[in-house]
Amino acid sequence: MPKVGMEPLRRRALIDATISAIGERGTLDVTMSDIAGRAGVSSALAHHYFGAKDLLLAATMRHLLSELTADTIAALKGTETPVARISAVISVNFSDKQFRAETIAAWLAFYVEAQKSTALRRLLRIYGCRLHSNLMSGLVHLLPRDEAHRIAEGAAALIDGLYIRHALREGIPDAATAVALVEDYLDAKLSHADASR
Amino acid sequence: MPKVGMEPLRRRALIDATISAIGERGTLDVTMSDIAGRAGVSSALAHHYFGAKDLLLAATMRHLLSELTADTIAALKGTETPVARISAVISVNFSDKQFRAETIAAWLAFYVEAQKSTALRRLLRIYGCRLHSNLMSGLVHLLPRDEAHRIAEGAAALIDGLYIRHALREGIPDAATAVALVEDYLDAKLSHADASR
Amino acid sequence: MPKVGMEPLRRRALIDATISAIGERGTLDVTMSDIAGRAGVSSALAHHYFGAKDLLLAATMRHLLSELTADTIAALKGTETPVARISAVISVNFSDKQFRAETIAAWLAFYVEAQKSTALRRLLRIYGCRLHSNLMSGLVHLLPRDEAHRIAEGAAALIDGLYIRHALREGIPDAATAVALVEDYLDAKLSHADASR
Amino acid sequence: MPKVGMEPLRRRALIDATISAIGERGTLDVTMSDIAGRAGVSSALAHHYFGAKDLLLAATMRHLLSELTADTIAALKGTETPVARISAVISVNFSDKQFRAETIAAWLAFYVEAQKSTALRRLLRIYGCRLHSNLMSGLVHLLPRDEAHRIAEGAAALIDGLYIRHALREGIPDAATAVALVEDYLDAKLSHADASR
DNA sequence: AATGAATGAGCCTTCATTCAT
DNA sequence: AATGAATGAAGGCTCATTCAT
């Protein structure tokens, strides 16, 4: 078997292993050896490809982020009404691929780590902005700008909260219910807005 | 001369130091020495009083929880309408005492740690149930039971989400806005319910 | 046995162990574990007292330096003629205490390490200046200032060279011969100076 | 297409890279990767050609030594008086080619390493003997054998000392001054000898 | 001829924890 | 009541070295 061109494979395997390790333990506090072991390589190789633990973690988060972005773009493609756009954005966050114990735990761990790591915080901020603007792209046609902004914030917070609660297996457990809650929130706010016009 | 009756003072000082350390660093990943140092004692003493790091952390979380409980009880005392009860519960979570960077960071860190620690998870579950039942105590008079349940879940998730976002200094920053968002959510759902009756 | 007040003893033991380890291996490239082992403690304790390997090495060099200084001061005390001062300075460098394989090897290792470590370089520079001024304190009465300066440099270089050669067990092996060579150099230069006057 | 006859070029490039790396860092403590990188090849190739780090270092030292030997032979060619021979030997050691920061640092590093490596010590001993006999080839005509021997030792030590001091940028910095000091030493000793005859 | 891939061994450092005083 | 002394265990990281291609 050819022993060349392994780099992308190893990188990917290591990132997957990182998600798996973090997801299972629920913390970024996993060892390089554990991660490397899951990827079937030595910890030295992980260092070889990523340089340091921080960098592997950051790369992993970037990976998670780009997957979410890709999914969102795919979901938005073909939507036509503002309401459809909003629904698409929400449902992506709770899709089978994103709303998995493993992934959620990883997101959460990153959220907390972001409190001390500037690099991670920057990445999370990007995600926050994207989510916000994606929601806005629908809401802005249905509500006054200020109100749209507020509602987008609320929806984002609600999504984050549902993630947290899911991770701790408290309350709302399944994706469908979660989506319904967020949609519900927006429906209520939108019809409320209509009514008050 | 050996001082007597120091125990409660030391315990309290150590718990405060723990909150401060976690709050500042944004992680439970603080050393016993750091905590003990902030409390002005040796790390050996921290062990003497709490037995182990886990136990000190659990005690700290219990402390946070009991403060919140006490505040909530105080806030509920004297409320008379269901709506007032709901507002009281919400406002406690964003009161000056609770909604401080330090405390929030600590809560968050505990949330994440709870993913691996059964002890912490149990404590958090208690908090979750209390919040839920406190919200229910108002909602149940205004909505059908099932619906009340759902809305309580939503409100709880929203609160958690706002905490997280505050910790990362993303979006909604101040308590007033946060409260308004939650109240707004409930208002919308309540009037929506009214309207559909 | 009392377990208190160990710090100075441990520090000293660790410094001695460092000299011994470096002396035996001929390099600063010794492990903390090796050093700690020689001192009969764990490597963690070495870190506890010195913070890091660099700092232990620097402390060790400082120790060597201060011993040399103390010996020199003692040797100079009671000297009366310029020539006696010069002889005293030279003989200290080749005294039984200083001119030992272990100590010499350590000095040499430090010399080389100083090329990359600013901290060590600074320390060595101090030693260089002291030696120079000690030599000058005698020479200045016997030669014109410029010439004295030059001769002091030459003598210092000669001493360094003899150390190196001793460390490698090449040529001149014993202290007496070494001293004689340096004295000889100075005698020659001094009488030469006389003659040319 | 595979290039042929690369071996000598690569070997030379690797040796040069080794000198450069050691010279820049002031230690033998350089990595194979660093060296290979400077030579523009992979570290695996360095192993391919030299077998191991030790061997590359030894080869490098041998190279340094043979350059010095060649220079010395060239310098001696054409000298006619004993004094001229001595001067030639000295000046080679401080020639532009030899007395360069890079080369000096490398020599020094090798000196120290020689304390633990028998192979390097053997090489250095060869150099020591050559220097000694080269100096003797002049001195022996001017002084009694014993005295010539001693003076040669002194001169060699002085040269070594000047190297060390140059490496640490302490005192005597330039080659001319260094040469003058050594010549001076010999002059003094020689005239002293004359005078006492 | 040359290299990317891969690893084992080892080192520095940190930290919770224990113990004697 | 309180602490300095001390350590074992573990983790991140580096590096020389090997191997298949």
C1' nearest to CA of C44: which nucleotide?
F7
Q: Cβ(C50)–Cβ(C14) under 8 Å?
A: yes
Residue A29 has pLDDT above 90, yes or no: yes
Rounded Cα distance between A128 and A153, Å, is 10
C161: contact with D, CB 8 A cutoff: yes
In sign, the C-alpha dihedral spanning D168, D173, D175, D179 is: negative
What is the mean predicted confidence (pLDDT) over C81-95? 95
Residue D1 has pLDDT above 50, yes or no: no
Rounded Cα distance between C63 and C12, Å, is 9
> Which pLDDT score, from 0 to 100, does residue D132 have?
94
Q: Is the pTM of this model over 0.85?
A: yes
Residue A131 has pLDDT above 70, yes or no: yes
More confidently predicted of D193 and A60: A60
Domain ranges of chain A: 60-195
More confidently predicted of D58 and D3: D58
- CATH architecture designation of domain A60-195: Orthogonal Bundle (1.10)
Name the nearest CA neighbour of D72 among D53, D55, D94. Answer: D94
Residue C7: CB less than 7 A from any atom in strand F: yes
Residue A170 has pLDDT above 80, yes or no: no
Residue D44 has pLDDT above 50, yes or no: yes
Q: Which nucleotides on chain E have any atom < 7 A from a protein Cβ?
A: 1-21
> Which pLDDT score, from 0 to 100, does residue B197 have?
43
The chain-wide mean pLDDT, for chain A, equals 92
Name the percent of chain A lying above pLDDT 70: 94
Rounded Cα distance between C119 and D23, Å, is 19
A159: contact with B, CB 8 A cutoff: yes
Could you give the residue ranges of the DSSP H alpha helices within chain C? 7-25, 32-39, 43-50, 53-76, 82-93, 101-113, 118-139, 145-167, 175-196
Q: How far is the CA of B58 from the C1' of E21 (A)?
A: 30
C1' nearest to CA of D56: which nucleotide?
F16
> Which pLDDT score, from 0 to 100, does residue A1 have?
44
Per residue in A71-106, pLDDT (tens digit) is 999 999 989 999 999 999 999 999 999 999 899 999
Q: To the nearest whole angstrom, how far is the Cα of D181 from the nearest Cα of chain C?
A: 7
Residue lying closest to nucleotide E7, CA to C1':
A42
∠ CA(A103), CA(B21), CA(A32), 5° rounding? 40
Please give the residue of chain D at the shortest CA–CA distance from C114. D168
Per residue in A44-74, pLDDT (tens digit) is 999 999 999 999 999 999 999 999 999 999 9
Q: Which pair of structure tokens corresponds to residue D14?
A: 């690797």
> Which pLDDT score, from 0 to 100, does residue D168 have?
83
Per residue in B155-182, pLDDT (tens digit) is 999 999 999 998 887 666 789 999 999 9
- Chains B vs D: touching, with 3+ CB pairs under 8 Å? no
- Using a CB-CB cut-off of 8 Å, the residues of chain D touching C132 are 171
Per residue in D95-142, pLDDT (tens digit) is 999 999 899 999 999 988 998 888 899 999 988 999 999 999 999 999
DSSP single-letter state for residue D42: -
Q: How far is the CA of C44 from the C1' of E12 (A)?
A: 10
Q: Cβ(A166)–Cβ(A177) under 8 Å?
A: no
Rounded Cα distance between A128 and A8, Å, is 28
Residue C121 has pLDDT above 70, yes or no: yes
Do the Cβ atoms of C153 and D172 come within 8 Å?
A: yes
> Which pLDDT score, from 0 to 100, does residue D69 have?
94
> Which pLDDT score, from 0 to 100, does residue C136 have?
96
Do the Cβ atoms of C189 and D188 come within 8 Å?
A: yes
What is the mean predicted confidence (pLDDT) over B48-55? 97
Query: pLDDT band at residue D2, thresholds of 50, 70 and 90?
Result: low
The helix (H) or strand (E) run that includes residue B53 is helix B53-76
> Which pLDDT score, from 0 to 100, does residue D84 have?
95
> Which pLDDT score, from 0 to 100, does residue A167 have?
86
The chain-wide mean pLDDT, for chain C, equals 92
- From residue D180, alpha-carbon distances to B47, C192, D95 in Å are 69, 15, 13
Residue D170 has pLDDT above 90, yes or no: no
Please give the residue of chain A at the shortest CA–CA distance from B126. A170
- Using a CB-CB cut-off of 8 Å, the residues of chain B touching A172 are 153, 157
Residue C194 has pLDDT above 80, yes or no: no
Q: How far is the CA of C22 from the C1' of E20 (A)?
A: 34
More confidently predicted of A191 and A163: A163
Residue lying closest to nucleotide F15, CA to C1':
D31
Rounded Cα distance between A170 and B120, Å, is 13
Q: To the nearest whole angstrom, how far is the Cα of B189 from the nearest Cα of chain A?
A: 6
Please give the residue of chain D at the shortest CA–CA distance from C171. D153
Q: Cβ(B154)–Cβ(A181) under 8 Å?
A: yes
Rounded Cα distance between D87 and B84, Å, is 103
List Cβ neighbours of D174 (8 Å cut-off, separation of 6 or more): none
How does DSSP assign C7-59, residue by residue?
HHHHHHHHHHHHHHHHHHHTSS---HHHHHHHHTS-HHHHHHHHSSHHHHHHH
Per residue in D145-155, pLDDT (tens digit) is 999 999 999 99
Distance of CA C97 to the CA centre of its chain: 10
Q: Which pair of structure tokens corresponds to residue B107?
A: 């809560």
- From residue C188, alpha-carbon distances to C183, D156, D193 in Å are 8, 17, 9
